[in-house]
Chains A and B, each alone.
Chain A
Amino acid sequence: MSETFVGMPAFPPPAFPAFPKAAREAVNNPTLRGNLRHATHTIRAKRARAVAEVSDWAALREAGKQIKDHTLRHLDRYLVQLEESVTRAGGTVHWAADADEANRIVADLVKATGEREVVKVKSMATQEIGLNEALEAEGIHAYETDLAELIVQLGKDRPSHILVPAIHRNRGEIRDIFAREMSAWGRPAPEGLTDTPAELAEAARLHLREKFLRAKVGISGANFMVAETGTLVVVESEGNGRMCLTLPETLISVVGIEKIVPTWQDLEVFLQTLPRSSTAERMNPYTSMWTGTTDAETADGPRTFHLVLLDNGRTDTLADEVGRQALRCIRCSACLNVCPVFERAGGHAYGSVYPGPIGAILSPQLRGTASEIDASLPYASSLCGACYEVCPVAIDIPEVLVHLRERVTQGGQVTQRGNKVVLKPAKGHAAERAAMRAARWALSRPGALRTGQRLASRTRRLHPRALPGPGKAWTGSRDLPAVPAEPFRDWWQRTHGGKDSGK
């Protein structure tokens, strides 16, 4: 396997159509557009209010950026330090170079407990590696416990948003999914379930409670890992995270290697910026922090703790001087909520568990730009820059998008699975490249340029108003700009830059 696998293997098969094709379908779905518009506009206004409450937002954002950059610059040292502190605190650290290896490690750990089911806290990393499907293939049932993940899992659907994976569903659709599917997974939905959010939340509470109370193995990701203390942090709202992190006997956390922060103090920055950026709250309802396991006397939480450190394309991303800033991401999803493209195209069109602007720069770096969808993602943006503006760690997403466009069209050296390879330029840009080559030829030869310009001016009466062939559509609503009667340089010479009266 030569490409890094990022998510969602079972349905549909891994070949996603290019973004424009997938987006076209989404844009023509009025229900989806309505759902997305409603949700993104709600959160946009709330986020702006939550951010305005803290007067030092710019300083927090800058500090977050610096902490993450510093960590990435010394990632090898911090990984080793983290391994030591987690081990010292009673945890076991595993290293996984790719999705297959991570899945195998987790499946073996679960099998070693003798259990056949696990409860899961929402985690982007485990979605990215397709852990649920890999466990299912080994005969292990993984139950998603985040409300939105549950909606996605029950609806045999794909997540479409980092924070709210079921953002594309409205309350009526959610009611139907619960009423139809819950009974096959456990406790059925209550009779006469309506579509009020409170009732839907109650149905999820009842459905999942029996699973939490009997669970022996929990699987999580983490928002942060503190290298100096070995502490892991999970930020959540519902309490499903607390259930999975404290009730089971065994806890397995799968975390991307870029989630490290060096010191305990560093949390003071991200615990201020993350909740306000993601759910637009001063603070999310629950944050759990744990350091390894507790001793027999304290006996608080799981007795066994495994940390699986995941690469899966992250070191390849780190090797790119421009693109590595994407690894600063704390998965808040503010960039999705402000993005005009995401608002209309929805998350599924991005063909990855990471949708929206951050997905457009993360997926092609984690997976490479070989597939149709990954080569198209850098273009899934109008480069308006709203994503950069809201990003709490100041990732310059437009800069990386342009950088990746260059990689797609021109090829060049990249790192894939730790090896340096040279990419060929993409096919299908032949006309553009030919035009650019012609321009380079003409602009570097003043004589040829002059002759060409004069020729164009003399023949101006013969020029068509509209383009022929494939350019026709563009001129359907525009005129081609008229060529002036005389080239600028000639005019300048003749009039000495307009000083002489001659026009």
Chain B
Amino acid sequence: MSSRDAILGRVRRALADVRQDDTPPVPERPGRYPQYDEAIDRSYLREHGDRSVKETVDLLAENLADYRALVHRCTEEELPEVLMRLLTERGSTSVLVPPELPPSWLKAVDATRVHDRAESTPHELDRVDSVVTGCAVAIAETGTIVLDGSPDQGRRRITLVPDHHICVVRVPGQVVSSVPQGLERLDAARPLTWISGPSATSDIELDRVEGVHGPRTLEVVLVSGTPPEAEVTSQHLAV
């Protein structure tokens, strides 16, 4: 008997006392039995508090900063200038660029652009100073930005190996209040990275220290002036 059959057999025998009149599990194909929803009491909140769109964006900025991300706010027109300034202040001579980062964002930047390519080795990435990306969604209540590997964000490793990550969030279009709302917007099939502040550890005396393996500096630029594709989703927020 294979271990698979052995384990499944043990599970079934172990559950001999509970199998009757119980909620059926979710089906094996997408879409699920309504019974599952009835089995779980989801009376917890979809979001905490009642905030306006502006307040939600402010909360995002506040929570990002609370976990030591450096937060900047600007308009769409000011963005190239801001990115140029941040990279110059950092002294970056090279910057990783995802394939479809809007070209206008980096038009004022002098640093050498390094493209996100499958062939690059981790050692090559390690020699790049900074990386600039967009994001998929930002969660205000937890101060989290989520990357999903879309063409304006690139492969997961490009936001990991360089020590300086600048993430551009379009506000309010890409901002949601809560974790449940964030998950609704995400596609499980994509590789996802949730980022809440720069790399940190609590391993020494349970005291939080920033800066271990991931980028030690995380800068988040909140860009207002909603671009066209975000208009639809922003209604989502204006509850």
Quick check: is A179 within 8 A (CB to CB) of the other chain? no
In chain B, positions 1-33 with a C-beta closer than 8 Å to chain A are: 2-4, 6-15, 17-19, 22-26, 28, 30, 32
Number of A-B contacts (CB under 8 A): 284
Interface hub of B8, B24, B30 (most chain A Cβ within 10 A): B8
B151 vs chain A, min Cβ distance (A): 10
**What count of chain B residues pass the 8 Å CB interface test?**
82
Contact B194 A66 (CB under 8 A): no
Contact A283 B204 (CB under 8 A): no
Quick check: is A246 within 8 A (CB to CB) of the other chain? yes
In chain A, positions 455-479 with a C-beta closer than 8 Å to chain B are: none
Segment at the interface with A among B74-82, B83-91, B104-112, B153-161: B153-161
Q: How would you classify the secondary structure of chain A's contact residues: helix, strand, loop or mixed?
A: helix
Contact A59 B199 (CB under 8 A): no
Contact B214 A167 (CB under 8 A): no
A84 to B30 alpha-carbon distance, docked (Å): 12
A205 to B216 alpha-carbon distance, docked (Å): 11
Q: Which of B17, B157, B161, B211 has a CB less than 8 Å from the CB of A205?
A: B211
Q: Which residue of A lies closest to B212 (CB)?
A: A238
Residues of chain A within 8 A (CB-CB) of B17 are: 321
Given contacts A164-B202, A262-B25, A291-B188, contact A97 B3 (CB under 8 A): yes
Segment at the interface with A among B137-145, B167-175, B219-227, B231-239: B137-145
Quick check: is A493 within 8 A (CB to CB) of the other chain? no
Quick check: is A381 within 8 A (CB to CB) of the other chain? no
A43 to B209 alpha-carbon distance, docked (Å): 14
Q: Which of B30, B139, B157, B209 has a CB less than 8 Å from the CB of A228?
A: B30
Contact B7 A79 (CB under 8 A): yes
A95 to B10 alpha-carbon distance, docked (Å): 13
Contact B8 A239 (CB under 8 A): no
Given contacts A66-B41, A319-B14, contact A268 B180 (CB under 8 A): yes
Q: Which of A75, A174, A288 has a CB less than 8 Å from the CB of B192?
A: A288
Contact B122 A289 (CB under 8 A): no
Contact B197 A285 (CB under 8 A): yes
Segment at the interface with B among A7-15, A128-136, A207-215, A387-395: A207-215
Contact A282 B196 (CB under 8 A): yes
Residues of chain B within 8 A (CB-CB) of A95 are: 2-4, 6-7
Contact B160 A238 (CB under 8 A): no
Contact A239 B214 (CB under 8 A): yes
A294 to B189 alpha-carbon distance, docked (Å): 9
Extra inter-chain contacts (9) besides given A75-B11, A257-B11, A315-B14, CB under 8 Å: A81-B26, A205-B212, A205-B213, A213-B161, A231-B188, A263-B26, A281-B196, A300-B149, A418-B10
CB<8 Å pairs between A and B, sample of 25: A42-B207, A43-B206, A66-B40, A67-B40, A76-B8, A95-B2, A163-B202, A164-B203, A200-B204, A213-B123, A238-B203, A239-B213, A246-B156, A247-B160, A262-B25, A263-B32, A268-B179, A272-B179, A282-B196, A289-B191, A315-B11, A315-B14, A316-B10, A415-B10, A418-B10
**Chain B interface residues toward A at CB < 8 A:** 2-4, 6-15, 17-19, 22-26, 28, 30, 32, 36, 39-45, 48, 63, 67, 118, 121-123, 126, 139, 141-144, 149, 155-157, 160-161, 179-180, 183, 188-215
**Chain A interface residues toward B at CB < 8 A:** 35, 38-40, 42-43, 53-56, 59-60, 62-63, 66-67, 70, 73-81, 84, 89, 95-97, 101, 145-148, 151, 163-164, 166-167, 170-171, 174, 197-198, 200-202, 204-205, 208-209, 212-214, 226-229, 231, 237-240, 242-243, 245-247, 257, 262-269, 271-272, 275, 279, 281-291, 294, 298-301, 309, 311, 315-316, 318-319, 321, 324, 415, 418
